[in-house]
Homo-oligomer: A and B are copies of this chain.
Amino acid sequence: MATIGDVARAAGVARSTASYALTGKRAVSDEVRARVRQAAMELGYTPNAGARALATSRSNVIGLLAQFLPDEFAPAMLQYIQGVTDTARDLGYDILLSSDADGRGALKRITDSRMVDGVVLLNVAEQDDRLPVLRDAAQPGALVGFPGDCTGVDVFDLDFEEAGRVMVEHLARLGHRELILVSQPEHVIERGGAYVWRLQNAAVEAAAVNGVVLHTRYGSSSQPQIGRDLHAFLDAHPNATGLLLNNEAAAAALPTVLHERHLTAPGDLSVVGRYSDEFARTFSLPYSSIESAPDRLGRMAVRQLVRRIEGQVPENDPYVVRFVAPELVDRGSTAPPLGDAREP
């Protein structure tokens, strides 16, 4: 493998000159630049990443800390990853992926060893044990997810509270008076999945304000249990005319459940979910839903991270906490409840 020394020799210049010619960090005569480029081309020169990292203390690699939990929905996880990798590549960074169950240890290792210039954390919990490590690290970090303490990091998440309000208000406006909200299983909350209760609390509040009865339930995150759960919830609340889903497995299972009960949406039941458009297309889900935009969140996190890495943020730029506004995608699964006599 050719080194910059080989290139310099072939071009008849000093190593430093070859470096300047290739990086453009100092002025070089047109003629020398051309010779050096030519030599580099002919020798197939590619700078050694380790050497460059050592000299510049920059690796052009971003760490991505994910956790593949059995109750996280795989398609959504892949969308986060894709948003992050694509954006990183566009900005000239590679991705070091860790799915280590010991996220804390993995984070410490890759930051202390200077393998990465910055880090993106997925699956952020309310009390995330990786955050103290990240704050101690020399590199900046960006989160997808909303922890209890946001100091020292940039935070991006869907506005789950607004999402809860939007869902309830949308159905309330149509005339619904009794709703069921199916959330992720409780152990997701216990693990620190704050987004579950953030959406739920806001929904409860909005229901109270709008004079709507809201039954909150936790459903399993996998089939076939979630199908049985849905049947049980519908059995328990026969007068409910609307269903809110903050649980992707529930959304995937619902078509079959409705079929089995000989119900249609929105004829018998109005349905609003919370999942990504990609997910809706893959599984052909016909339900209106709040777009959860995983790829967009990944993109935003990387963009901000790179701005910090490259020092494009002004001195003392405060850390950002940015919530993506939930957008309701209408797929026609909501309507006024049966027997509702009001004008549209």
Residues of B within 8 A of A95 (CB): 96-98
C-alpha spacing A49/B311, complex, angstroms: 23
Indicate if the CB atoms of B113 and A284 lie closer than 8 Å: no
CB distance from A263 to the nearest CB of B (A): 13
Indicate if the CB atoms of A223 and B282 lie closer than 8 Å: yes
Residues of B within 8 A of A259 (CB): 256, 259
Q: Taking each of A47, A61, A284, which has the highest tally of chain B beta carbons within 10 Å of its own beta carbon?
A: A284
Known: A50-B50, A252-B283. 18 other contacts (CB 8 A): A44-B112, A46-B109, A46-B113, A49-B53, A49-B113, A50-B51, A50-B53, A50-B114, A61-B115, A68-B82, A74-B79, A89-B100, A94-B110, A94-B115, A96-B96, A222-B281, A222-B282, A223-B283
C-alpha spacing A223/B106, complex, angstroms: 38
Give the B-binding residues of A (Cβ under 8 A): 1, 44, 46-54, 59, 61, 64, 68, 74-75, 77-79, 81-82, 85-86, 89, 94-100, 106, 109-110, 112-115, 138, 222-224, 227, 249, 252-253, 255-256, 259, 281-284
Ordered by A's residue number, 29 sampled pairs between the chains whose C-beta atoms are within 8 Å are: A1-B112, A1-B114, A46-B112, A48-B114, A49-B59, A49-B113, A50-B51, A50-B59, A50-B114, A51-B54, A53-B53, A54-B54, A61-B96, A61-B115, A64-B97, A68-B82, A74-B74, A74-B79, A74-B282, A75-B75, A77-B78, A82-B99, A94-B110, A96-B96, A222-B281, A222-B284, A253-B284, A255-B256, A256-B256
Indicate if the CB atoms of A49 and B114 lie closer than 8 Å: yes
Indicate if the CB atoms of A138 and B98 lie closer than 8 Å: no
Indicate if the CB atoms of B100 and A224 lie closer than 8 Å: no
C-alpha spacing A208/B223, complex, angstroms: 38
Residues of B within 8 A of A113 (CB): 46-49
C-alpha spacing A78/B81, complex, angstroms: 10
CB distance from A83 to the nearest CB of B (A): 10
Residues of B within 8 A of A138 (CB): 1
Number of copies: 2
By beta carbon, the residue of chain B nearest A110 is: B94
Indicate if the CB atoms of B68 and A78 lie closer than 8 Å: yes
Indicate if the CB atoms of A227 and B284 lie closer than 8 Å: yes
By beta carbon, the residue of chain B nearest A45 is: B112
C-alpha spacing A138/B48, complex, angstroms: 13
C-alpha spacing A98/B82, complex, angstroms: 10
CB distance from A38 to the nearest CB of B (A): 18
Residues of B within 8 A of A59 (CB): 49-50
Residues of B within 8 A of A51 (CB): 50, 54
Residues of B within 8 A of A224 (CB): 284
C-alpha spacing A75/B79, complex, angstroms: 11
C-alpha spacing A283/B48, complex, angstroms: 46
By beta carbon, the residue of chain B nearest A76 is: B74
Q: Which of B48, B61, B75, B284 contacts A54 (CB 8 A)?
A: B48
CB distance from A166 to the nearest CB of B (A): 26
CB distance from A223 to the nearest CB of B (A): 3
C-alpha spacing A244/B303, complex, angstroms: 45
By beta carbon, the residue of chain B nearest A283 is: B223
C-alpha spacing A340/B89, complex, angstroms: 59
CB distance from A316 to the nearest CB of B (A): 23
